A and B are shown apart, each in its own frame.
Chain A
Amino acid sequence: MNYLDEQFRLKVGLAEMLKGGVIMDVTNAEQAVIAEKAGASAVMALERVPADIRKEGGVARMAPISKIREIMGAVSIPVMAKARIGHFMEAEILEALKVDYIDESEVLTPADEEHHIDKRRFKTPFVCGARNLGEALRRIAEGAAMIRTKGEAGSGNIVEAVRHMRTIQKEMRQLTVLGKEELVAESKKHQAPLELVEYVAGHGKLPVPNFSAGGVATPADAALVMRLGAEAVFVGSGIFKSDDPERRAKAIVKAATYYKDPQKLLEASEELGIGMFGIDVAKLPESELLQTRGW
């Protein structure tokens, strides 16, 4: 894969512009406007927020086109939309609609249990979830221009996001101290292309921006994942499942900028009202985990 390829640089370029910001899940134009007014750097259009998908069950698909269109018409910030894992036709439709980013997402019900979308053939950039370095590098090899750690979407619990961010950071640091012949074995271990393993060993970071998702519910959560190495934050159910979405959205935006400044974080955390209820992920049966989707 050629990282100097113009198309790929444009895809990563938009991810660069989203750094330090908050990308918020929205299901309609009204929520999108609240998100933009609160300072979201982009919105993610979906049919139901993860907490509702979890509660209601059923098959979760790409959002209705009319809803995505309505959201695109309501805000001036970038609009992303989710496609099911492996569902390249949903992705082609989203590209024809001209959404700014496509999330091939484990939050939706997978359409293919072996293959992800070949993202290289699209002009629209893709973001994909990952729980560890190998998964991140496989997605990048397929053409993803942005990685987000998966966390556990719709749980309101930051523990999985922390686990995944720490895992990726640690696995990257480990590569930086190894010799060339050792990297070949690492490539096998991580089930990722040697070329990408060598890139990480040489740079100590992924060749694309690395954001965090899945469980952010408070300004402190956002600051925590930023301190652990996230370059921006996705917030799903955490905002519109709280009792004052606008205020919480603003507070999380502030926290993503001032994540190193406890005084500003204190200001952001005041008078927030009640956050989403949340789930103890350790008590969830394996079959209800979203993060295990993706191969």
Chain B
Amino acid sequence: MRIGVLALQGDFEAHRKALERAGAEAVEVRTAEDLDTVDGLVIPGGESTTMLKLLRAEGLFERLARFGKHKPVFGTCAGAILLANDVRSPHQESLGLMNLTVERNAYGRQIDSRIVQLRGEEFSEPLEAVFIRAPIIRGVGPEARVLMEYNGDPVLVEQGRHMVATFHPELTADSRVHNRFLEKVRQG
């Protein structure tokens, strides 16, 4: 099982290490050929506008949308924005792999970034959630499952084979969120 980490820009190295800690083989993905060799893909944190420009310029946008029709994709922060089908503040294009409405930079600027402890139905032990200039998920479709909330807003959501977090599990030593994604990849 090989997991790709989209390495156009952002904290892809942190994700690669987090996946390796969780026992997976992780490779960086920068081209369509790289994408063909992986069973699942992580879209990391970073700047969604930068990633979007590079996806478009390199002809990867459609390839990624097609990849997501058959294989699991996990997006954190900027990655969550790219996976949604409705992006606001300001509006921008996205892959639309999940039925989500996402508002960018919704907590404010860097000074409003924060670390909080969260629990969820399947996370009885508290999970450290690092929010950095994070987006807020303003709405989810009926097919989505909210796994964790913060201040009443969904922050960890899955829909079919895909999953998003508006925080950064890759910046902590806790592997539970990555393990959940690896389980999805195992199931195909």
Contact = CB atoms under 8 A, between A and B. Distances in A.
Interface of A: 6, 9-10, 13-14, 16-21, 36-42, 76-78, 95, 98-101, 123-125, 250, 253-254, 256-258, 261
A74 to B, nearest CB: 11
B108 A98 contact: yes
Interface centre among A10, A17, A124, A256 (most CB of B within 10 A): A17
Interface centre among B77, B108, B109 (most CB of A within 10 A): B109
Contacts of A261: 30
A95 B10 contact: no
Contacts of B78: 17
B2 interface: no
A254 B54 CA distance: 7
Q: Top 3 closest A-B pairs, CB basis? A: A39-B53, A100-B110, A16-B11
22 contacts: A10-B113, A10-B130, A14-B110, A17-B45, A17-B78, A20-B8, A20-B10, A21-B50, A39-B49, A39-B50, A39-B54, A41-B46, A41-B47, A42-B47, A77-B47, A95-B111, A98-B111, A100-B109, A124-B110, A250-B53, A253-B53, A257-B7
B168 A13 contact: yes
A7 to B, nearest CB: 9
Given A19-B10, A98-B108, A258-B30, A9 B50 contact: no
Given A17-B11, A20-B12, A125 B54 contact: no
A18 B109 CA distance: 15
A283 B78 CA distance: 45
Nearest to A42: B47
Interface of B: 7-14, 30, 45-47, 49-50, 53-54, 57, 77-78, 89-90, 104-105, 108-111, 113-115, 130, 132-133, 168, 171
B168 A41 contact: no
Nearest to A125: B110
A23 to B, nearest CB: 10
Contacts, number: 110
A16 B47 contact: no
Given A13-B132, A14-B132, A98-B108, A20 B46 contact: yes
A203 to B, nearest CB: 13
B115 A6 contact: yes
B10 to A, nearest CB: 6
A103 to B, nearest CB: 13
Contacts of A19: 9-13, 46
A164 B64 CA distance: 38
A14 B111 contact: no
A274 to B, nearest CB: 22
Contacts of A76: 49, 89-90, 104-105
Contact of B115 (A9, A18, A42): A9
A40 B47 CA distance: 9
B57 A40 contact: no
A226 to B, nearest CB: 12
Nearest to A260: B30
Nearest to A75: B49
B108 to A, nearest CB: 7
B111 A124 contact: yes
A39 B57 CA distance: 10
A98 B54 CA distance: 28
A17 B10 contact: yes
Scoring B12, B13, B89, B111 by chain A CB atoms within 10 A of each residue's CB, the highest score goes to B111
Contacts of A10: 110, 113-115, 130, 132
Instruction: Name which of B78, B104, B113 has the most chain A CB atoms within 10 A of its CB.
Output: B113
Contacts of B49: 36, 39, 76-77
A168 B148 CA distance: 42
